[in-house]
Amino acid sequence: LRAIRIKSELGFTLDSYTANTIENNSHLLSYVSPERLRDEFLKLLSVSGATENMYTLDKLGLLCRIIPELEDLRGVEQPKEHYWDVFHHCIETTGAIERAISRSTEQLSIIPWHPYLDQYFNEEISDGCRRSTIIKLAGLLHDIAKPVTKSFDTTGRIRFIGHDDYG
């Protein structure tokens, strides 16, 4: 986890040896204290590149070891309005939130914004963790209950009734 965070913070790349070593030893995360995993995962979410970082964790076999419930999202189809399955939609949401908060694209400049919001999202709310980090985490987990609530209505349309409450 730390390697992915440092890579992202400093603009490094993972060489194939390091990536293979991480992937081959990903099962060892079960021996790391949950508090340490939480802290490092939140630090990783706090740096820019949330979508890429989540995909890197997934590619190396780490993401679903940290949050096992995410595995159930993989391949869960959504209504035609959605481009991605639930798993990829949740990962992409972290990046969309990051772009919205940082206002990193010109298209976002048309959205009403008040300078207070910069302060609001950068406010530390717990143990060195900023509100923007927690919102990215919420984005990653926002559809976590879709697999268990998936159904079809009488027209055959996919529905996830109650997934927001259940999740």
Q: Phi/psi of residue 129, each to 5°?
A: -100, 130
Residue indicated by tokens 């914004």: 113
- List strand residue ranges (DSSP E) for 22-79, in order: none
pLDDT score, position 67: 96
pLDDT score, position 110: 75
pLDDT score, position 113: 83
DSSP letter for each residue of 118-145: HHHHH-EEETTEEHHHHHHHHHHHTTTT
Q: Phi/psi of residue 19, each to 5°?
A: -60, -45
Residue 133 token pair: 């980090």
Buried b (16+ CB within 10 A) or exposed e, 135-162: bbbebbbbbbbbbebbeeeeeeeeebee
At 89-129, the pLDDT tens digits run 999 999 999 988 887 777 677 778 888 988 999 999 988 89
**Low-confidence residues of the chain: pLDDT under 50:** none
pLDDT score, position 143: 95
Cβ-based burial of 16 (10 A; exposed 0-12, middle 13-18, buried ≥19): exposed
pLDDT score, position 66: 96
pLDDT score, position 128: 85
pLDDT score, position 141: 97
